[in-house]
Structure 1
Amino acid sequence: MTKIFTVLFFILSLSIFSQNRIKILDSENQKPISYAKLILKDKSYYKNTEENGEAALENDEEVSEIQSFGYENLKVEKFQQTYLLKPQFNEIEEVEITKPKFQKSFSVGSIKKSSMGFSALNISWMVVDLFKNEIPDEKVYIKKIKIPTQVHNTIKEATFNLIFYENINGKPSLEKTKNIVVSCKSGKHLTEIDLSKNPIPFPKDGLFIGFEWIVNEQNTYSYITTVNHPDGTKEKNVLKHGTAPSFKAYESVNSNVMANSNLDWYNIFNTKTRKTVYSISMQLELTN
């Protein structure tokens, strides 16, 4: 029994000492920056900080850049335990509509579902879809967004970034226009984001809206699967790690779904090479 405890303690000690913990703070108020993105040198994946602004790095992981919406990107030249990000613009007090009065309601998109969906491992990505504004002669705003989400049963609550980009000639703009951190419960749910007190303008050109996974300890889960290799062989009972949540898609006539894995935007479903294409299962509720 003593030997078993000794071995377990040794393994736990190795795990602790093989990690370097860092913290990301706001340079002006010293508050932790939740879910900041850590770009890792010579790695095909990235990590995010936890809600408390902290993250654990393995010995072979080196941060080359730190990014967070609303802050200037920070190029990292040497290892530090604490990094400070400079706000990109002065904080402006947000006006909240306490008793909004809406005259008309419209909807864009669909929450239909199929067996097709989007999920992430530790190599994360961003996925967006173009939501077109086909409402004539009306200045409209987004008051609610509905997204079917699925969170692994070992996770009580997962978070993801709901991301917004301008539509520039059928492609997402270089910079995000808005980023909302959304929480979703364990299991299958229709996650709703209520924007009625702070409605988002919906331009005539429409918006690219989608999701970006937050790769951290909170959202990570493990599962056993079978791996099919290119040579036709199968490897059973392989331990894999995923990042919650997963999202759904539905079959559509045309697809404007685009993805980005920290390089450039590309079309996921090419109508020239695929018989079946899909759209993100998401519905916008609009109002004037």
Structure 2
Amino acid sequence: MYKFLFFFISFSLTAQIRGVVKDSISGEPIPYVNIWVENETIGITSETNGSFSLDIKEEKLLVFSALGYEIKKASSKSEVILLKPKVFELNEVVISIPKKTKELEIGDSKKIQHSQLSGDKPWIYGKLFKFEEKYNETPFLKKIIFYSNSKIKNAKLKIRIYNFKDSIPNEDILYEEVIVSVKKGMQKNTVDLSKHAILFPKEGVVIGLEWMIIEENKYLFEYKDTKSKKTNSFVTYAPSLVINYTEEENSFHFSGGKWRKRSRAISNSGREWDGKIMTPAINLILTN
């Protein structure tokens, strides 16, 4: 039996605001921008034409973030949002070319029948991998493995990779947009990073899975109420992400424009996840 974790949401009278996100230099629309009402659990993803809409009843401060651009905060009354391209500082480095003669899989994640729904929020779920000295023999990130359970075909999500600083995910270290389409049903997904030649940061690396709240991912989730035995439904966005329960505090989520550390689950019901951390089921394959 599949188990899904979701939140019930109460609705109030709202007004829909609309806008478009564009590049401040080229004027071109920016697709798939992560957008949140600051410090709240209300968010959306811009569509392929840069457009977005949110149901909010008063003026709010919105937080816009996208790979390759500086984070921007703007009033919800602004109809056109201009994001400034980020200038990356290049430090002097010794260039290494992966040999790819060795592999090491790390992470201990596995496929179980517990999944996390997005609801209607563009969460980024991140898993921290701490550096160990033995990784010096296989210092490059070769592949990401994660597990999903989608109700629709070809649901899209983003892959993000961050360094780890001051106890939270920090800067992107994958500078190219990587969008993955996952098949319907329970799937093991593999993302090849070989061409990027990313070295495992000594301070640790966070692998992020970003839900995309876009029309093509939308579907109606149905479930049966255990008390009334009635079938209920609500709109959510694919795919669901398989989660594992761990003792290690290595899980983070991005919401409301900020990174937050996942707390231990407490239900007082004697469930297997009581006192543990819900962590996205992600593994890494390293190479030399």
Instruction: Place the TM-score, normalised by the shorter chain, in its bin.
Output: 0.7 to 0.9
> Which whole-Å CA distance do the structure 2 matches of 1:209 and 1:76 have between them?
28
Specify the code of the residue in structure 2 equivalent to 1:247: L
CA RMSD of aligned residues (A): 3.4
Partners of 1:184 and 1:191 within 8 A in 2: no
Question: What residue in structure 1 maps to residue 163 of structure 2?
Answer: 166
Q: CA deviation at 1:160?
A: 1.9
SS of corresponding position for 1:241: strand
Select between 142-151 and 124-133 the one with higher mean Cα deviation.
Answer: 124-133
Match of 2:236 in 1: 242
* In the alignment, structure 1 residue 117 sits paired with structure 2 residue 115: yes
- CA offsets, 1:75-134, max 9 Å, x none? 324734432211121699xxxx9x964232222113511122322101443322221333
Partner of residue 82 from structure 1, selected from 80, 83, 93: 80
Q: 1:282 to 1:205 in 2, by over 3 A?
A: same
Alignment equivalent of 1:35, drawn from 13, 28, 32: 32
Larger Rg: 1
Describe the SS at the equivalent of 2:195: coil
Amino acid at match of 2:86: Q
1:24: Cα distance to partner?
1.2
> What CA deviation, in whole Å up to 9, does each residue of 1:179-220 have, x standing for no partner?
744222331332221111112111233312232212222222
User: C-alpha distance in 2, partners of 1:120/1:142?
Assistant: 27
The separation in 2 between residues aligned to 1:128 and 1:43, in whole angstroms, is 19
Q: Which residue of 2 aligns with 1:4?
A: none
CA distance in 1, matches of 2:204, 2:53: 39
Which ranges of structure 2 fall in alignment gaps of 5 or more residues? 1-14, 269-273
Question: Is the contact between residue 39 and residue 63 of structure 1 (CA under 8 Å) also seen in structure 2?
Answer: no
Residue in structure 2 matched with residue 7 of structure 1 by the alignment:
none
Unaligned 5+ residue runs, structure 1?
Answer: 1-17
* TM-score (norm. length: structure 1): 0.74
**Counterparts of 1:186 and 1:248, CA distance in 2:** 14
Q: In structure 1, what is the Cα distance between the partners aligned to 2:230 and 2:30? A: 40
SS in 2 for 1:76: strand
Equivalents in 1 of 2:151, 2:174: separation in Å? 27
Aligned length: 258
TM-score, normalising length: structure 2: 0.74
Q: Give the alignment partner of residue 267 of structure 1, picking from 248, 255, 262.
A: 262
